[in-house]
Amino acid sequence: MKKSYYEKNKEVRLAYQNDYYGRNKLERLRKLELQAFLEPEEFEESRKKLARYNADYYRKNRERIRQQRKNLVESRKRQ
């Protein structure tokens, strides 16, 4: 039952997510600019921490991520 609910509402959820991130993108960027200007050491440290996290995550999930990308490319070709 849950799966069919998510399948039915996939387009609505994606539209909401795109709208939400579009509306908040400038606000998030502005906050990062202010942090970089007011607290450069903290900003740099948080940036490095995020980069390490992303690298570790990709390393641990490389095969799954590559398969998802491959599936996405194939589904776009079919459309």
Q: Which residue range is the domain that position 6 belongs to?
A: 2-78
Provide the number of structural domains found in the chain: 1
- C-alpha to C-alpha distance for 58 and 76, rounded to whole angstroms: 23
The pTM of this model reads: 0.60
Q: What is the DSSP string of the chain?
A: -HHHHHHHTHHHHHHHHHHHHHHHHHHHHHHHHHHHHH-HHHHHHHHHHHHHHHHHHHHHTHHHHHHHHHHHHHHHHH-
Q: For position 2, what pLDDT does the model report? A: 64
pLDDT in tens, the chain (79 residues): 567 888 888 899 999 999 999 999 999 999 999 999 999 999 999 999 999 999 999 999 999 999 999 999 998 888 7
